[in-house]
Amino acid sequence: MESASERVVIGMDPHKRSVTIEVMAADERVLGGGRFATDLAGYRAMLDYVRRWTERVWAIEGCNGIGRHVALRLIRDVQDVVDVPPKLSARARVFATGQGRKTDAIDAHSVALVGTRMAGLRSVVNDEELAMLRILVDRRRSLGEDHTRMISQLHQLLLELIRGGAKKDLSAAQAKALLAKVRPRDAVGKTRRRVAAELIADLERVYKRSKEADKELKQLVVATGTTLMDLHGIGPSGAARLLVEVGDITRFPDRDHFASWNGTAPIDASSGDQVRHRLSRAGNRQINRVLHIMATVQLRNPTEGRAYFDRRKAEGKTSMEAMRALKRRLSNIIFKTMLDDAMSPAVENARTTGPGGQQGDDSGSGAAGSHPHTGSSDKPLPGPATTKPKTPLPAAS
């Protein structure tokens, strides 16, 4: 029989209305498990079940996604929680079962294996400041998606009402002025005009809400003490998304691992004497989108990013290759900026709580300078991390 004082990892496969757990010892013996509802009664039953193991760490898959609701409940109850990326648990599942077939029990077992074997998993903390930023930046993204959808519908209607339609970059005020000149006489035309007027009214409401959301986001981002918005092409939404998704920047050993995480590190596709790299489609796509917007903004203005892009094209790179190189260079700049912010007393004073772990070494990080023309950004995917473990997990025997 297992000792009550034995340190265990509780792997969890979370869903909205239920969770499946497996309790695993340091030597990977399965000590227990089960399925529990996520309502109050089910949650209490789960805590009662695991109470026999006094030394425990919860390893939960996808704490930034579907597992976040239960992870935050456990943190409020003073439980140690680490985040298991879905890719790691998927690999563990294939190695453990020999195939990729999924069940909740197999998923919980895979998560427990990762939690037991892997050191350095990110500890989940209840940072209210980041939680507020997450809510607001998700809302701002939703408003942007609503805007795009409404504009597309409006363009379609105007194309059927006006010969040639409207210009591409159309505001609600411009659409209203165009619609005022249209007086269809048939029933279908009148219906199109009425629906277009409703869409314009909806767009005006979205504009207003977006402006208010940007103002609130900017205030919260400034309160964190970060200097991300000083970078050309990073606004309140981009800075908030970086803070929310990255969390503790010191969890990345260097800028190469950060670039691999956000999908800007090129993938080596060399063959024989031909040396080439291709664009990575992996990584955090939301951060990759922030970097793409930043690069696009810099290209539209006489910036160091524009000059760097032109130099790479003059060297024989295609536009896509130069864009890829620019995004990687901007990734280095963001890494250095966030690393500098993490070492800044202003940020430490602004944020009294945050993810634990060792501090990074700014002098040895090798991050690029404040402009894209400094440093190197052509390295492909990095090698294994050599940082010390930050997660208090039991070592596999």
Contact between residue 114 and residue 88 where contact means Cβ atoms under 8 Å apart: yes
**Contacts of residue 320, Cβ cutoff 8 Å, sequence gap at least 6:** 279
In the beta sheet, which residues pair with residue 37?
18
Position 3 scores a pLDDT of 54
Q: At what angle do helices 285-299 and 304-314 cross, to 10 degrees?
A: 90
Phi/psi of residue 22, nearest 5 degrees: -140, 130
d(CA 283, CA 14): 22
Question: What DSSP element (H or E) covers 29?
Answer: none
Low-confidence ranges of the chain (pLDDT < 70): 1-5, 100, 275-279, 345-397
**Degrees, nearest 5: CA angle 329-330-335:** 100
Spell out the residues 6+ positions from residue 208 whose beta carbon is closer than 8 angstroms to its own.
none
Sign for the pseudo-dihedral over CA of 227, 373, 330, 119: negative
What distance in Å separates the CA atoms of residue 44 and residue 150, rounded to the nearest whole number?
A: 45
Which residue in 302, 293, 265 sits closest to 379, CA to CA?
265
Place of tokens 């970078």: 231
Take residue 241 and report the two structure tokens written for it: 């998304």
From residue 108, alpha-carbon distances to 31, 33, 137, 192 in Å are 13, 9, 31, 52
Query: Strand 8-14 and strand 56-61: pairing?
Result: parallel
The phi and psi torsions of 74 (rounded to 5 degrees) equal -65, -40
**pLDDT score recorded for residue 351:** 54
Distance between CA atoms of 241 and 263, rounded to whole angstroms? 15
Q: Are 36 and 58 in contact (CB under 8 A)?
A: no
Gap between the Cα atoms of 350 and 222, Å rounded: 9
What's the token pair of residue 44?
A: 């209490």
Contact between 161 and 196 (Cβ < 8 Å): yes
CATH number, domain 8-123: 3.30.420.10
Residue whose tokens read 């793409």 = 292
Give the integer Cα–Cα distance in Å for 191 and 184: 9
Dist. CA 167–CA 146, nearest whole Å: 19
Q: Kindly write down the DSSP assignment for every residue of 123-142, as one continuous string.
A: EP---HHHHHHHHHHHHHHH
> Going by DSSP bridges, is the β-strand pair 8-14/18-25 parallel, antiparallel, or unpaired?
antiparallel
Write the pLDDT tens digit of every residue in 333-378. Answer: 999 999 999 887 655 555 554 443 334 444 333 334 444 544 444 5
Distances (CA, A) of 25 to 21, 114, 282: 13, 12, 33
The upper half-sphere exposure of residue 290, i.e. CA atoms within 13 Å in the direction of its Cβ, equals 28
